[in-house]
């Protein structure tokens, strides 16, 4: 079954024909490896058209693409590159300023982004995947779009999906009614969705990415209850546990002043919100877990 993106097969004039539409790793595709289709987070605060009027989608200018490359390069090098074929589209993401629009107008902008990502995924499936198993992964805006793709997958495609890493965004009760969206219960179940958001205190949640959260899993110990795990990052040590009431990760023992909110979202996030670190804190754990699910788990749980 397919989801909300009524995009047909990509024609010969598709933008996705161009290598410039995809992050280039320089590595040859291996048929023995699992693919990763990764969607990056919001990297553009605001954008303007040729007349100087504000628009709410990235223009994919040289500067914007350079910002995108930093995240794509980090995720490829640190998380997936040595074990997976990596596919990552340059897409006209919505800007930070778009989230301040009235809800109906924001949804219109987001629908355009959803359609573009579905088109990119369809092109990848038709021209690149070659029937291989794959992982969906995304951070923040990319995590939102990963949920879109979970609804968009055909049942056959879903049968080949190892897992979906929805990093820095919530999975709601409504999301869980879809047969392709099943919350991960541990470290080795397949066809599941992994979701979490980090804060030093539940009072510091970023409502845009956490409101309506129904599940959360700790990517350090793969528990869904409040069992704590140790986080070592830079020169700091902290404990991370799931808050079962708010369905977020609470990180205790960090000095919030050393982990400021990203400048892109500092005006809309409280001190102690760790959204900007949801990739960095758990890079190694996600890397090892993706390998385990992709290569060492037999059967489909």
State whether the Cα torsion 162-34-157-18 is positive or negative: positive
Among 65, 84, 78, 64, CA closest to 23: 65
Which residues touch 75 (CB under 8 Å, ≥6 apart)? 38, 40, 88, 137, 139, 279
pLDDT score of 12: 55
> Can you give the residue ranges of every domain in the chain?
33-296
Q: How far, CA to CA in Å, does 88 sit from each of 71, 75, 142, 195, 205? A: 11, 10, 10, 20, 28
CB of 85 within 8 A of CB of 293? no
Alpha-carbon span 88 to 146, nearest angstrom: 12
* Whether 258 contacts 236, CB under 8 Å: yes
- Rounded Cα gap, residues 208 and 184, in angstroms: 22
d(CA 266, CA 260): 8
Cβ pair 220, 232 in contact under 8 A: no
Q: Tell which residue, 116, 122, 143, 129, has the closest CA to residue 36.
A: 129
Per-residue pLDDT for the chain (301 aa), expressed as one digit of tens each?
A: 334 454 444 445 689 999 999 999 999 999 999 999 999 999 999 999 999 999 999 999 999 999 999 999 999 999 998 899 999 999 999 999 999 999 999 999 999 999 999 999 999 999 999 999 999 999 999 999 999 999 999 999 999 999 999 999 999 999 999 999 999 999 999 999 999 999 999 998 988 999 999 999 999 999 999 999 999 999 999 999 999 999 999 999 998 889 888 777 777 788 888 999 999 999 999 999 999 999 998 654 4
pTM: 0.93
d(CA 210, CA 169): 6
């Amino acid at each position: 079954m397919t989801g909300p993106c009524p995009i047909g097969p990509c024609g010969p004039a598709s933008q996705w024909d161009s290598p410039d539409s995809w992050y280039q790793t320089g590595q040859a595709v291996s048929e023995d490896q699992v693919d990763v289709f990764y969607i990056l987070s919001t990297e553009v605060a605001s954008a303007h058209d040729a007349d100087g009027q504000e628009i709410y989608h990235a223009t994919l200018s040289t500067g914007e693409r350079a910002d995108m490359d930093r995240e794509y390069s980090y995720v490829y090098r640190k998380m997936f590159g040595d074990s997976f074929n990596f596919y990552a589209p340059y897409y006209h993401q919505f800007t930070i300023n778009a989230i301040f629009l009235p809800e109906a107008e924001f949804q219109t902008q987001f629908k355009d982004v959803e359609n573009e990502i579905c088109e990119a995924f369809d092109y990848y499936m038709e021209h690149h995947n070659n029937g291989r198993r794959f992982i969906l992964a995304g951070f923040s805006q990319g995590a939102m779009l990963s949920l879109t793709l979970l609804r968009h997958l055909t049942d056959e495609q879903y049968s080949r999906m190892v897992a979906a890493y929805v990093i820095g965004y919530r999975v709601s009760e409504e999301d869980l009614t879809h047969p392709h969206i099943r919350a991960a219960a541990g470290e080795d179940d397949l066809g599941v969705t992994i979701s979490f958001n980090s804060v030093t205190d539940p009072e510091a949640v970023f409502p845009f990415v956490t409101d309506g959260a129904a599940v959360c899993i700790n990517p350090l110990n793969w528990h869904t209850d409040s069992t704590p795990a140790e986080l070592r990052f830079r020169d700091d040590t902290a404990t991370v546990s799931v808050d079962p009431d708010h369905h977020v990760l609470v990180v205790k023992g960090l000095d919030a002043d050393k982990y400021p909110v990203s400048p892109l979202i500092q005006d809309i996030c409280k001190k102690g919100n760790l959204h900007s670190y949801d990739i960095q804190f758990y890079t190694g754990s996600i890397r090892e877990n993706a390998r385990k699910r992709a290569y060492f788990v037999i059967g489909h749980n």
